[in-house]
Structure 1
Amino acid sequence: MHDATTGDGWTRRNYLRSLGVLAGSASLAGCLGETPGSESSEGSYSVSMAPMGEVEFDAPPESVFTIYPQYADMAVALGHSGAIESMFATEMAETTMSHYYDHLEGVDYEWGDLLNPLDGSFSPETVYTTAADVHLADPAWVSTQSNWDQSRIDEIRNQQGPWFGNFYSGTNAQPPEGYRDQYEYYGLWELFAKVAAVFDESERYRAIKSIRDDAVATIEENLPPEEERPTAVRVTYSAQNDQFFTYHLNKPGYWLADTRPLGATDAFADQDWEQLWGTVDYETMLEADPDVILHLWGLTPRHDMTQVRNQLDSEASGQKLSAVQNDRVYAAGMRYQGPIMNLFQLEMGAKQLYPEQFGEWPGTPDGGASYPEIPEDERLFDRQELANAITGSGE
């Protein structure tokens, strides 16, 4: 997770951008509507989102600075993948994202030469390196990082391009004191609507959201009664320390946008962690004894799920876990999810939690190195419809 940029990264992306290879279909130009928080006019427009307030744009950005992958996924979904200049955890994130994109005709991106802004010192100089038109990052979060103060945040905004991000909606955590009065919380798809307005791609956003709404409606209509739903946890297992990093399933925040609609019983619902996650040992896991273990980052190179299952099965305590005994330890995706990721992860989780309602999860026999092919009649959304919405094909 320490990929740095190469010298030719800027040139390659701008070359592709000039050819229109990654910019999406021109057929959408001129027919894009407005979205909440957007006020479009000829030549300039504004988009409003906390904590920035109203942000003005002269034109859709041609280059964007991102940190967390949800914004990169949004740019891809909106047909602007060529604008992406940076992303955290490239090796891990791009692998998972590419697993999903491989199932969408015409949706692709090469991530290897992106700047990782969190590789080493995250500084204003790092941000300036990208020469981005807009920074899809939360200035409230940036203010908590070393090397930063409000004057440097303002300097980037005034001299290079505006900030436009909302980090603390990930878990509805409290923002730093200087930003609390103007902070608001957004769901993933509300946030996506705002970013779509920045790119002047509201029509494309609505097409993708319609697909998501249909998928969620299908899930909600077919969920079993609450008392018949499995108990589950979302964790990342550390064999080295014999502990589990743990995350909630059903609480507010866009980091839970793929598990909350599934309505499983969170075995750690009563745990209140001071940070955005907690850690538990085998004793606590055995007390909870969930029916299903969803292993976060399970589709990344960081975790081979065959090895994870073998490690759990080799431990005396691990062997006692019901999820291990019943072969219900599954690879899960990423909590830093954008709209494309969210759709695939909703489908994945629905099958892992409710195979009788949504079809058996085929598993990842290659250790989590790909997203398996789902029979067409068992998919929760149409791949071609989504690809067309992203690329502008079939208009």
Structure 2
Amino acid sequence: MTEPTDGRDGPSRRQYLLAGTAAVGGLLAGCASGGSGDPSNGTTEATDSGVTTGEGGETADGATTEGESTTTQEPYTATLAPAGEVSFDSVPESVFTVFSQYTDMAVALGHGDAVNAMYVPEMAGTTMNNYYEHLEGVSFDWEGLPDPLSDGLPKELLYDLDSDVHLADPAWASTQKNWTKSDVDEIRDSVGPWFGNFYSGTHADAPEGYGDAYQYYTLWEMFGHVAEVFQERERYEALNAVHEDLLSTVEGSLPPKEERPTAVRVTLSEDQFYTYHLNKPGYWLADTRPLGANDAFAEKDWGQLWGSVGFEAMAEADPDVILHLWGMTPNYDMAEVRQTLADHPVGGQLSAVQNDRVYAQGMRYQGPIMNLFQIEATAKQLYPEQFGEWPGYTSGEPYPDVPEGEWLFDRNAVAAAVRGETS
């Protein structure tokens, strides 16, 4: 693969990447599908153990926002375990991401156009834009960038991208195929620093060599640390204020625990449900935990990130509400999911199916903007009497229109913050 240039005497990095996608067409072909494999999205996914399952994905790039970003020419530092304190000479202009929580953070901070890679971007980027549709002046151009996990995690790709920062967990990277801690250190020293934290997603144990340096963060704590990287404290504080207000609205209106519905978070795949908890620690549950529904599988211990149950076990649990993870992504058609359940001799008898309470959920790889929308959606799906009826989601369409009087957070305030209008 040709070495990228700085654009002064050859193609720009963007032009280089676009050309590179043709050279690695097999890596970037449209493989994201809602089939088996990973219990959730049907695409290649790195797990806490570093094992990948399922199929591979697409390509991604930058956000367009209005307003100017705050930059500085003075050296500064940002801190996040396990990377620790990281020094920067200037605000990064090329940013490597894997999972979309960091891509969404870059967009939220006004630096989405710096992103040069992203996991299954056709799925994730489309889903992000389905939320951004409701934020004036905010969008994400995901086309033309490589999926760093479409063929493992090639070290050569990281050299080719020559990123100023890698918003990815060095501990997680050390578990990938053909990677060791020395490879991670090599990229840090030869290309650019790592700055990410994967295992806060589930509070799973960090891999060998990183345990002593590891720390768990909430999604919004991580977002604050990433804001340090981009020197965008004002944007972060404005968005965090919206989040705090949303949590206050939700938590202050929840019914007593005994009056809350039973619910499950699952993904239907053929004759089984891949299952997830609702209220456990970790930022993967940042959209369900605040709602405190009664988890129908709360007592299940799958010994890993997820479990799987058949229709009989689902019928035994018989939850009031089924939250279908990835249902608001292009990988699933919720009309087909509901029809499959209704046509099944056991599935058709489930209370959630009979009462039309099978709902589309978003992505667990959620950044701050995604999290705001996903908390709102889940609140309305679980508690329509308290938070207003969920208008329903149509596959292939943006996040549904919610009447302004029924917003649980202020879209205008979010869009203004992303555009840099924070004063």
Q: How big is the shift at 1:344?
A: 0.2
Q: How big is the shift at 1:53?
A: 1.2
Q: Which moved more, 1:127-136 or 1:42-51?
A: 42-51
User: Retained in 1: the 8 A contact 2:65–2:137?
Assistant: no
| Correspondences of 1:226-237 after superposition (within 5 Å) | 226-237=257-268
Asked if 1:25 corresponds to 2:67, the answer is yes
Deviation per CA, 1:333-387, whole angstroms, max 9, x where unpaired? 00000000000000000000000000000102x3353211001100001111110
User: Retained in 1: the 8 A contact 2:94–2:116?
Assistant: yes
User: Retained in 1: the 8 A contact 2:330–2:395?
Assistant: no
Could you tell me which amino acid in structure 2 is paired with residue 369 of structure 1? E
SS at 1:387's partner residue? helix
Could you tell me which amino acid in structure 2 is paired with residue 355 of structure 1? P
What corresponds to 2:14 in structure 1?
Answer: 10
What corresponds to 1:196 in structure 2?
Answer: 227
Q: Give the 4+ runs in structure 1 shifted more than 6 A.
A: none
| Correspondences of 1:114-193 after superposition (within 5 Å) | 114-193=145-224
Asked if 1:56 corresponds to 2:87, the answer is yes
Q: How big is the shift at 1:212?
A: 0.6
Distance 1:327 1:12 in 2: 49
Q: How big is the shift at 1:43?
A: 1.1
SS at 1:85's partner residue? strand
Cα 1:368–1:224 change in 2 (3 A) is: farther
Residue of 78, 84, 108 corresponding to 2:109: 78
Distance 2:12 2:64 in 1: 17
Structure 2 residue runs without a partner (length 5+): 1-10, 19-61
Could you tell me which amino acid in structure 2 is paired with residue 177 of structure 1? E
Could you tell me which amino acid in structure 2 is paired with residue 142 of structure 1? A
Deviation per CA, 1:103-148, whole angstroms, max 9, x where unpaired? 0000012101121001113121122222110000001011111121
What corresponds to 2:43 in structure 1?
Answer: none
| Correspondences of 1:182-331 after superposition (within 5 Å) | 182-239=213-270, 242-331=271-360
What corresponds to 1:354 in structure 2?
Answer: 383
Asked if 1:383 corresponds to 2:387, the answer is no
Q: How big is the shift at 1:24?
A: 5.2
TM-score scaled by structure 1?
A: 0.90
Deviation per CA, 1:253-282, whole angstroms, max 9, x where unpaired? 000000000111111111112221111111
The Cα RMSD (Å) is 1.9
What corresponds to 1:338 in structure 2?
Answer: 367
Q: Between Structure 1 and Structure 2, how many residues are aligned?
A: 370
Structure 1 residue runs without a partner (length 5+): 1-6, 15-19, 31-40
Q: How big is the shift at 1:392?
A: 1.6
Distance 1:145 1:356 in 2: 46
Distance 1:42 1:317 in 2: 63
User: Retained in 1: the 8 A contact 2:63–2:141?
Assistant: no
User: Retained in 2: the 8 A contact 1:300–1:369?
Assistant: no
Could you tell me which amino acid in structure 1 is paired with residue 208 of structure 2? E
Residue of 365, 369, 373 corresponding to 2:401: 373
Could you tell me which amino acid in structure 1 is paired with residue 284 of structure 2? W
Distance 1:121 1:214 in 2: 40
Q: How big is the shift at 1:67?
A: 0.4
Cα 1:22–1:214 change in 2 (3 A) is: same
What corresponds to 2:77 in structure 1?
Answer: 46
Distance 2:63 2:286 in 1: 31
User: Retained in 1: the 8 A contact 2:134–2:411?
Assistant: yes
